[in-house]
Structure 1
Amino acid sequence: MRELIKNLLIQIGENPNREGLLKTPERVEKSYEFLCSGYKQKPEDILKKAIFNTDNNEMVLVKDIDFYSLCEHHLLPFFGKVHIAYIPNGKVVGLSKLPRLVEVFARRLQIQEQLCEQISQALFDTLKPKGVAVTIEAQHMCMQMRGIQKVNSKTITSSLKGIFLSDERTRKEFYSLIKD
């Protein structure tokens, strides 16, 4: 990867041997190892570490989970907040596992729509709740720094499963709870 970065610097008109760029290939390599570390993790392994029996059948919601990811089309960042809710079906998962689940998928090359669906599906498949709702609000540097250059734009996606699809009251409760 270091050689690729060195060549990239040359291709954009830079001198990879100048003082400020000497260690750039190494730094970029380490950066991408971290930013793409989600490929080395399995979401079900994270969730299964903290599943507990419960009699609770009311909505569990963790909102405003910060995330950063890389757009698979431009390798530019997109970032924002994820809101995750589920209705238990005899099992709950440790609350910290939901942000960890977000990180597994966010630390892969992504599109927001896919990220939203992957989080929702992994929770639905592993925990087997009555329903799952995931909403993501994000800003995309590929839209803000280049292309259309709309600095204040946000993209909102959602993925609903189970009772969140079939019961309007439950769906409305979720959306009212995640409003600022």
Structure 2
Amino acid sequence: MDLSTEFDDILEAPAREISDEQIARFEGYVAEIFATFGMDLNTASTKDTPRRFVRALYDITSGYDGDPKLIKVFDTECRGGPDCRLSQVVEGPIRFYSLCEHHALPFFGHAYIGYIAHENIIGLSKLTRLVRVVARRFTVQERIGQEIVDALEHLLKPHGAAVYIEAHHLCMEMRGVRETSPLTRTTYWRGEYDSNPSLRAEFFTACGLQR
């Protein structure tokens, strides 16, 4: 797999171009669906609902537009010698919202990110940007974590990278089994984190999580 090409597509994706004509057509489709399912579109509060829905959906999926600011990284003093210490950078909780690609229903939660610098470091705000650019699209929780940890490896060439995500999925709470407040948790380890349990424990402690 060519990770360089993959992450160029994610981080530097060209802005989507959707014409006014397309937007108007989409609003018509949404209006037909909503009306068929029972919504009265002739009230003061609902007459513009199809338009608002389409525009909200466009905004919610802004991750498809990428974020070129994420490619800005800085050299670190670590070059892998005997004095290169395994010191973690941990950020979180980072709030995110996403849309499940199975039902197009929201899921939302928090991401925690850790990495052990080697070649490069990245501004702390960029970690939040990274979470949002991969989450604000149609996706699944497993892929969000995978893309975050792979992007960290691609951008920073670290000794290790770690991601922990916990999220509520409305496709489980509003439909189907109608579970009450379930929390789905996923973890992703690369490099030193994968082989060193003490680093994973330190990561969870730094996140304020008991594991």
TM-score range, shorter chain: over 0.9
Aligned AA (1:2): E
- Contact kept? 1:139, 1:154, Cα under 8 Å: yes
- Could you report, residue by residue, the CA deviation over 1:106-147 in whole angstroms, capped at 9, with x for unpaired residues? 111111111111111111111111111001011111111121
Are positions 1:68 and 2:123 aligned together?
Answer: no
What is residue 47 of structure 1 aligned with on the other side?
A: 70
8 Å contact from structure 1 (residues 38, 106) kept in 2: yes
CA RMSD across the alignment = 1.5
How far apart, in 2, do the equivalents of 1:24 and 1:13 lie? 13
| Residue 102 (structure 2) pairs with residue 80 (structure 1) | no
TM-score (norm. length: structure 2): 0.79
Tell me how far apart the structure 1 counterparts of residues 55 and 127 of structure 2 sit (CA, whole Å). 26
Question: Given that residues 160 and 192 in structure 2 are in contact (C-alpha distance below 8 angstroms), is that contact kept between their aligned partners in structure 1?
Answer: yes
Q: Radius of gyration: which is bigger? A: 2
**What's the TM-score once normalised by structure 1's chain length?**
0.92
Please say if 1:121 is aligned against 2:144.
Answer: no
SS at 1:117 equivalent: helix
Give 3-state SS (helix, strand or coil) of 1:146's partner: coil
Alignment partner, residue 170 of structure 1 = 199
Correspondence for 1:4: 29
Gaps of 5+ in 2: 1-25, 79-84
In 2, the alpha carbon distance for the partners of 1:151 and 1:55 equals: 48
Corresponding residue for residue 27 of structure 1: 52
Write out the 4+ residue segments of structure 1 that deviate beyond 3 Å after TM superposition.
Answer: none
Matched with 1:18 is 43
Q: Give the 3-state SS of the residue equivalent to 1:85 in structure 2.
A: strand
User: In structure 2, how many angstroms separate the alpha carbons of the residues matched to 1:14 and 1:173?
Assistant: 51
| Secondary structure class of the residue paired with 2:54 | helix
SS in 2 for 1:148: coil
Structure number with the higher strand fraction is: 1
**Is contact 1:46–1:101 with CA below 8 Å preserved after alignment?**
no
**Percent identity at matched positions?**
39
- Name the structure 1 match of 2:175: 146
CA distance in 2, matches of 1:154, 1:113: 14
Q: Secondary structure at the match of 1:81?
A: strand
Which structure 1 residue ranges, 5 or more long, are not aligned? none
Tell me if structure 1 keeps the 8 A contact 2:119–2:156. no
Q: Is 1:100 the equivalent of 2:164?
A: no
